[in-house]
Structure 1
Amino acid sequence: MKCRIGVRKTIRSRRRGDRRGHIGAVAAALLLTSALTGVAAAAPVPTERPAAKTQERPHAAERVAARHARPLPSVVAPEVENMTVSARRRAHGTMITLGSADIQRAVAGTNPLKVLGAQPGIMFQSADPQGVDTWSSQIYMHGFMQNQISTTLDDVPLGELVYRNYNGLNPIEAISSENVGRLDVSTGAGAESVASTNNLGGSIEYVSSDPKTKAGGQVNQTFGSNSMFHTFARVDSGALNDTGTRFYVSYSRNDMHKWKGGGNDFTQQVNAKLVQPVGADSSVSAYFDWSDLHEYLYQDYSLDILHNGGYFVDNYYNGRYSGYANAYNAALGNYPSSLDRISDKADAAYYDGASNINDYFGYLKGDFALTDRLRWKTTAYGHGQDSILTWSNPFYPSPNGAPMFEQVKQPSIQRFGILSALHYDIARNHIETGVWYENNRFVSSMFGYEQPLPGQGSPINSVGGFANLTPFMQLYGQTINTNTFTTYAQDTWNVLPNLALHFGFKSLLNVSRAGNAYYNTGYYGNDASVGGVGLTTFRAFLPHISGDWHFLKHHELYFDIAENVHAYPQAQFKTAASPFAVTQSAYDMARPGLKPESDWAYAVGYRYSDRLMDATIHAYRVNFFNRLQMISSGAIINPQTIIANVGGITMNGVDAGLTLRPLRGLSFTNSVSYNHATYDQNMESGGVVYHTRGVQVVAYPRVMYKTALSYRWRDLEAHVDAAYTTRRNLSYVGDAKVPAYWIANFGMNYRLTNLVASTAGGRFLKGLELGFNIYNLSNARYVSTMGENGFSLSGDYQSFLVGAPRQYFGSIKAEF
């Protein structure tokens, strides 16, 4: 009883302090509102998802939940893992929380989505071992492709998770992996409060780490196979004054040669974050990101190339003139003997392909406790991106007579937005409402640059600047302007201390219009780019209902039901399943059947968790309507593409997982995922009926099995994991498949903190850690990414990549 009284006194005392800080919070809120008004112009006041930060005081919603819901048990022993599955006390189905410790256990600079891929029902693929090659990185969740999964950073939308993003940026370009505090992932139906137009199958919410309250720094250095070199340095200011003002600035650099062919993948990035506390429970924060990426790409594969050319076929570029000479001869029809058995030698290798992407991204956020029960959060953000994406084209000559030219896409993005949300707690209810507005201008264009004749100059440097080069022709050009407005309302009702119900809905209005477009008939033939047309996606009521019941100690049941819609996507010409990315004639043919993709998603699950074990089973069903797909044929450098409404897809699946912790520090996890996702109708193209009804969807396996064993003893931790993926369809009718495969990885970390503390270095070193990792232990040869160039209705197609062979990495991390 004394303990209870003490707790109540503490709460009352803090509330009195909170009230004293409310006047300052309200004043700061008014000042921020004035600043944001200038950014948002006359835009409606929009929405943001409330995401608790790792180092912030719990929000009012969480305090109410703590009063009315029994705390959930930890599902993984903290000395082994901190990847947890929880209902987050919002009764929002299964949420996977991926902590920074899990991310840092991987090779430094690894894409956090690659770490997430170890979870049941999630598949991550990439042609490089770190998962940072933007052309090849790809994630699926429960049968949903990455462009059907929403992504945000600190509630700010990052747009569609695709290579040629039209309304955002790849998360690895938005934040260095070392600065990621955690990932909150919904593998179910997503959440209505997430700022997104594409969350058909879930959401991935990045939360950046906050600046530390004590001054310090961190330096990471990693070396590895293929001259891999990763550096990360961060400086934290600590609290600069009595109000707690603090910031950090970091710089990262990642450079790695391709594991086959010539060229390297290089990225450098600057992150900065400032937090200014206001009163006892409010804050103003700002975030800035600059990313500079230059990557040589891996060449796409077909089954023909894989079986008849081998695992190491790649483009001709090798950093020397001999690479250009070989590509020049190939463009004239003189191919190297290594391609003799391949039927399509011309497309098996080009001179080169590269990505150059430069991003500026940032936000200003106010988070204010206006009263004990009312909280207001508003964020204004901006993002600009310029890209140069290149491929050598051996099918069309340069004006000087060289048999090829450099085909260069030069898209750009400019977007600005604002989110605003109110959170109110009353009785056993946590009520939220908010809005989101964004304007996005997407410019898509492609140009042709001349390559030299032999002995008359150096070939174009695809990862260098094009500012001093003049194109000899434009191939196409298109500008699309999009305005997006969403609003939502939701209520989480704690009916009983162990039972919570969630009700909510979202409204969405997305209007895109393509202006006048340019189309080079001399190159493409008689037709036109899509221009002077617009498409609108509108849904007034997208409901979401879920529940969470802790019916016995350690036992939990939950369900989740939601309707979602995907606004019409945009893309560069002939690159993705977008109505804007085809010729005018193809658009006119598809227009009568075009409808936004939508779905109803249902999930139910059971979870058991205690000190020795975790067990979970998650079942789901999705009814998918109006799925848009890009049907491709011909050479990948200039394919024939159409966008088709392939009708409905019915998906049923289940994940089952078991983690055992029989000894302190030892954890053994096994999971199996089954997905039965099939097309509801046959497809027709060119008067031919393709029998796709009942066929498993492309690129996603029917069965995945994953296992992991980890052990920590004092300052040493070691882990090994393995995964099995069954065959995947490369064509819609399923007559072309890529083979199944096993892949395993190993890692270990040793903390020297205690040893350093006993020496003179302990005066300034807070921590020192050594790491060693092996990727692809068994040196397996396997198919990774699929569908980067679309899929064929039937037969083989050059649209997948192979994974990296065995790789070794060593690292050292020091904290000051």
Structure 2
Amino acid sequence: MVPTKTQHGRFVAAILSSTFLFCDYAYAATHKTAARQGGASAKLHKQARAAARPAAHRATGPVQSHGAEELDVAVNRAGGGGMMRHETAPHAVQTVTKRFIAMQSPTSTALDLVKNLPSVSVSTNDSSGILGGTLNIRSLTDSDMGILLNGVPVATAYYLNQNVDSENLDHVSVTPGSAAINLPVTTAAAGVMDAGTITPDHKFGGMTDFSYGTNNMSREFLRVNSGDIGNTGLRGYLSFSHEHARNWMGPGVNERRHLDFGARKDFDNGSFINLFASWNHQFTSIPLYPTAQQFLDKKHGNGSFSYSAQYNPQAPSQYVGLVGNMWDQFFITAPVHVVLPSRFSFDFKPYYVYNGGYSYNGSLFDANSTAVTLGPNGGALSGQVPTTSTYSIYRPHAGAIAQLSYQINRHNTVSLGYWFDYQDNQVNNLYSVVGPEGQKNYPYDASHGLFQNGARYMPYQGDSGWYNHSLFVRDVSRYFDNRLQVDAGFKVSMINRYSRNYANGAPQMQENTVVPLPQLGIGYKIDDNNQIYINAEGDYRMPDPGALSSVYDAQTGRYVGNPYNAKPQYAIKEELGWRFNNKYLMVDLSLFNYSITNRLVDTSVYVNNQAVSTTINAGNQTARGFDAMIAAHPIHHFSPYASIEYLNASMDSNMPTTGTLNGTTVADLLQTKGKRAVMSPHVLANIGMTYDDGKLFGSFAVHYTSGQYTTFLNDEKMPGYFTDSIAVGYRFPGFGFVKNPIFRLNFNNITGSLVRTGAYGLTNNAHATTGVYGSAVSASGAPSYYLYPRFNMTGTLSVSF
């Protein structure tokens, strides 16, 4: 059994204690500054700060029905009803704001909220938001992307629903071609998606909502705000939600419980500490993902590909009660900003993420070929035994970013920083015997587990992870009355990856990598309405550390090093952009070019006729195109929005594979050079409209994605598709202690179409072919797909107090 590691616990304690030390220093520095200013000036400063609080609160919240000032604040920040925000950074940024988020269903995840941005193609499993999904962006995937919450890394896009409830989101931003030097990302070839949470309210109160929808979906949410706690400068909120829903296709039930906690402490000199923590616990029933043939059969009424609601001991893998996932996630971060004397400032962002649980599926265990007993002291089993195969996962992730900044003069600020990041992935494969009626037993219950020689039978015990040490320097210069901004930086990352399979006794494999990451962004504001920018940078993706593991050589009967040990993926990217903003319109146009080296692909290879799942380099890739967005500020309460992306992405190399030549398995290449890159549609287009007169509000959006290839050889293609959504609601007048009662309806897939929206599993080639060197390359399997859920509706009633 792999021993549980405790180093990360000591590290978390260290960074959190450091956070409170910085908080104490900021408190002391604040009072020293106030004492030097004198009592009268300090009093005036406090009065000015108190007077500014309501405006700051209004700016972060949704548009209310009372007060023209609040409407002006929201309009200045965003257009298209919050589907587009005015940006000034010297690189492409695409953002949805709180105004748009507040119109959507509370079940929406960050993936659902960004699905109408021009660079993004989103695939989700269900309408409840519990099962997560994936996204593709400029010919890359979310595995090539930094996924952040409040500026620190969380899990992949599949787990976005576990990070924060949508009621506590302030905005979601996508930087499709850029990752700032001081961001804690190791995988940013496709840029960054960063979700920001709301700031705790200055007044005591809260809000609650209840949602009910199709597929027996029900959801409850409650948030309580503390308001300002005396004269401490502290304020916070705590929220809880619970959700339950059936799968939209086939049997299966999903359930989720979630807690969010936010707190903020402000100091008079501008220092602050901002804490956010969340906990998520869920049980999910994982759906089947169809092949193209299964999808077409289902669409034409000729078959089904869902799990069975009835247990058959001869086919436990088909029973819905024996397939699923139990998952826990805990996330905490406490960014600290300290204003120091002599134009210095210090930023410290510690974070800790715990992911753990297990996934399971039914199987028939051949006890005749592998001798096992039931329990540590039970009798020997024989024949085909119905079991559950469980993968137990333990995944701590911790780190911190420290940055010291110095304002040289009014034009120039330089920053030096260090980032440390650590993640460990421990995976154990356990087997448990199924009950006579198909009951799933607790995977850690020894009495129902399979044992071998007195120890728990575990054919796989993996431990892999990394240590990342990064140093960075950044300089931000502003000239010509702040019209010209030059943002230049350099980061060097030193990464140690390790991996070991304890089940086979092979030695731990590890590898050290040093990666340079330069960046230069230049933005110039031509006049009050026009800005141009240019951005160039290098980004990389670290291969999965599990790919370092030794593999089994069937001919020698020994474990050997992985001959397909992948190199880091590196991308050089350039952007050229123009922005326009006046009181009527917002326009954003960006042209991009990517040159990708050592493209990383998850696939299967052969080592002496033994199939091995691993990560390989698929050669080089080029992607270029443009994004365009346009949105209007309210015109008679209407706010239109439209966006489009054109993308041309191609593979520049032939892809490694294996084939058969004269009866022998040999290394060969697939003829992929010049083929279109997988999951890279030529066109993504969106149109939308919002209406809000202060009481009645609504929105609609239509998304189009053109055809995409789902094999690297381009011998299977997914056709283009449309998706759509509508929201409508009404704000009622408050009464008594009840404020802002709102009722809204959200509809998705109005036409009820059954379409594929993305590839769950890519393959090299769907049909047999001939390799570059003449070997016969067999088909590598059929791709599997995400399906867009059929028509679904959610009704929500919310009130504040």
User: Shorter-normalised TM-score: what interval?
Assistant: 0.7 to 0.9
Q: Equivalent residue of 1:475, what SS?
A: coil
The partner residue of 1:144 within 125, 140, 147 is 140
Note the 1:394-433 alignment, pairs <5 A: 399=381, 401-402=383-384, 404-425=386-407, 426-433=409-416
Aligned to 1:750: 730
Inter-partner Cα distance in structure 1 for 2:722 and 2:628? 19
Aligned to 1:534: 510
1:119 aligned partner, one-letter code: L
Q: Equivalent residue of 1:171, what SS?
A: helix
Q: Give 1:614 shift.
A: 2.6
Q: Give 1:283 shift.
A: 2.1
2:490 aligned partner, one-letter code: F
The partner residue of 1:355 within 309, 314, 325 is 325
Inter-partner Cα distance in structure 1 for 2:151 and 2:30? 19
Aligned to 1:116: 114
Q: Give 1:409 shift.
A: 0.8
- Alpha-carbon distance change, 57 to 591 in structure 1, aligned in 2, over 3 angstroms: farther
Inter-partner Cα distance in structure 2 for 1:286 and 1:196? 20
- Alpha-carbon distance change, 385 to 657 in structure 1, aligned in 2, over 3 angstroms: closer
- Alpha-carbon distance change, 790 to 735 in structure 1, aligned in 2, over 3 angstroms: closer
Note the 1:310-325 alignment, pairs <5 A: 310=299, 313-318=304-309, 323-325=310-312
Q: Give 1:814 shift.
A: 0.6
Note the 1:502-513 alignment, pairs <5 A: 502-513=487-498
Q: Kindly indicate whether the alpha-carbon contact (under 8 Å) linking 1:632 and 1:790 is maintained by their aligned counterparts in 2.
A: no
1:433 aligned partner, one-letter code: L
Q: Give 1:491 shift.
A: 1.2
Q: Give 1:650 shift.
A: 0.6
- Alpha-carbon distance change, 581 to 242 in structure 1, aligned in 2, over 3 angstroms: farther
Q: Give 1:480 shift.
A: 2.0
- Alpha-carbon distance change, 587 to 501 in structure 1, aligned in 2, over 3 angstroms: farther
Whether 1:500 and 2:485 are equivalent positions in the alignment is yes
Q: Give 1:247 shift.
A: 1.6
2:678 aligned partner, one-letter code: V
Q: Kindly indicate whether the alpha-carbon contact (under 8 Å) linking 1:301 and 1:348 is maintained by their aligned counterparts in 2.
A: no
Aligned to 2:50: none
Inter-partner Cα distance in structure 2 for 1:810 and 1:639? 49
Specify every segment of 5 or more residues in structure 2 that has no aligned partner in the other structure, as ranges. Answer: 1-21, 32-54, 60-71, 373-380, 452-456, 660-667, 768-780
Note the 1:303-702 alignment, pairs <5 A: 303-310=292-299, 313-318=304-309, 323-325=310-312, 328-330=313-315, 352-371=322-341, 373-393=343-363, 399=381, 401-402=383-384, 404-425=386-407, 426-452=409-435, 456-460=436-440, 469-472=448-451, 473-497=457-481, 498-515=483-500, 517-519=502-504, 531-539=507-515, 541-571=516-546, 578-580=547-549, 591=563, 594-632=566-604, 641-660=613-632, 663-687=635-659, 688-702=668-682
Q: Which moved more, 1:75-84 or 1:486-495?
A: 75-84
Whether 1:299 and 2:288 are equivalent positions in the alignment is yes
Aligned to 1:35: none
Q: Give 1:187 shift.
A: 1.6
Q: Equivalent residue of 2:162, what SS?
A: helix
1:482 aligned partner, one-letter code: W
Aligned to 2:90: 92
Q: Give 1:583 shift.
A: 5.3
Q: Give 1:610 shift.
A: 2.0
Note the 1:280-299 alignment, pairs <5 A: 280-299=269-288
Q: Kindly indicate whether the alpha-carbon contact (under 8 Å) linking 2:605 and 2:657 is maintained by their aligned counterparts in 1.
A: no
Q: Kindly indicate whether the alpha-carbon contact (under 8 Å) linking 1:183 and 1:205 is maintained by their aligned counterparts in 2.
A: yes
Q: Which moved more, 1:195-204 or 1:308-317?
A: 308-317
Q: Give 1:330 shift.
A: 4.4
Inter-partner Cα distance in structure 2 for 1:661 and 1:367? 34
2:109 aligned partner, one-letter code: N
Inter-partner Cα distance in structure 2 for 1:361 and 1:142? 29
Q: Kindly indicate whether the alpha-carbon contact (under 8 Å) linking 2:79 and 2:633 is maintained by their aligned counterparts in 1.
A: no
Q: Equivalent residue of 1:307, what SS?
A: helix
With the length of structure 1 as denominator, give the TM-score of the two structures: 0.79
Q: Kindly indicate whether the alpha-carbon contact (under 8 Å) linking 2:498 and 2:545 is maintained by their aligned counterparts in 1.
A: no
The partner residue of 2:230 within 231, 241, 251 is 241
Note the 1:51-66 alignment, pairs <5 A: none
Q: Aligned Cα RMSD in Å?
A: 3.2
Identical pairs, percent: 18
Q: Kindly indicate whether the alpha-carbon contact (under 8 Å) linking 1:213 and 1:246 is maintained by their aligned counterparts in 2.
A: yes
Whether 1:782 and 2:755 are equivalent positions in the alignment is yes
Q: Equivalent residue of 1:101, what SS?
A: helix
- Alpha-carbon distance change, 659 to 286 in structure 1, aligned in 2, over 3 angstroms: closer
Specify every segment of 5 or more residues in structure 1 that has no aligned partner in the other structure, as ranges. Answer: 1-20, 31-53, 59-71, 164-169, 332-346, 520-527, 572-577
Q: Equivalent residue of 2:112, what SS?
A: helix
Whether 1:807 and 2:801 are equivalent positions in the alignment is no
Inter-partner Cα distance in structure 1 for 2:531 and 2:553? 53
1:417 aligned partner, one-letter code: G
Number of matched pairs: 697
Q: Deviations over 1:638-662 (max 9, x none)?
A: 9753432111001111122333458
Q: Give 1:579 shift.
A: 4.1
- Alpha-carbon distance change, 535 to 438 in structure 1, aligned in 2, over 3 angstroms: same
Q: Equivalent residue of 1:699, what SS?
A: coil
Q: Which moved more, 1:584-593 or 1:236-245?
A: 584-593
